[in-house]
Amino acid sequence: DTAVSQTPKYLVTQMGNDKSIKCEQNLGHDTMYWYKQDSKKFLKIMFSYNNKELIINETVPNRFSPKSPDKAHLNLHINSLELGDSAVYFCASSQAEGELFFGEGSRLTVL
């Protein structure tokens, strides 16, 4: 069983569209994250949820809206997609002072 799974793995869409990426973890962790990795491999945290509560919200355009229906799921919805949103988005989870477990990533390409 995949510990942290995210879908879709690839997403190609036009500017201005709205899209969502879903993430699920079966590790029983309390904290989940969204990271963005740009073309230079730089990894930047976007959001963090602990037990469905938002605890980290970095400087991210409000076109990005995370939603955590329960502590095993953290979805990311993006409105009005822009070219600069093209990146690989990683979901991750952790349990208090523990390591991060990453999903395989969702590659978003905005045309």
Least separation, in Å, of the C-beta of 16 and other proteins? 29
**Whole-angstrom distance, CA of residue 33 vs CA of residue 99:** 12
Which is nearer to other proteins, 1 or 14 (by Cβ)?
Answer: 1
Half-sphere exposure of 97 (CA within 13 A, CB side): 0
Which is nearer to other proteins, 66 or 103 (by Cβ)?
Answer: 103
Least separation, in Å, of the C-beta of 79 and other proteins? 25
**Whole-angstrom distance, CA of residue 78 vs CA of residue 15:** 11
The 3-state DSSP class for residue 28 equals coil
Least separation, in Å, of the C-beta of 24 and other proteins? 14
Least separation, in Å, of the C-beta of 105 and other proteins? 5
Which is nearer to other proteins, 14 or 28 (by Cβ)?
Answer: 28
Measured CA distances, 69 to 5, 24, 110 (Å)? 16, 11, 27
Which is nearer to other proteins, 40 or 83 (by Cβ)?
Answer: 40
Phi, psi of 6, deg, nearest 5: -135, 145
In the complex, the residues that contact other proteins under the rule CB under 8 A are: 4, 31, 33, 40-45, 48, 50, 55-56, 90, 92, 94, 96-97, 99-105
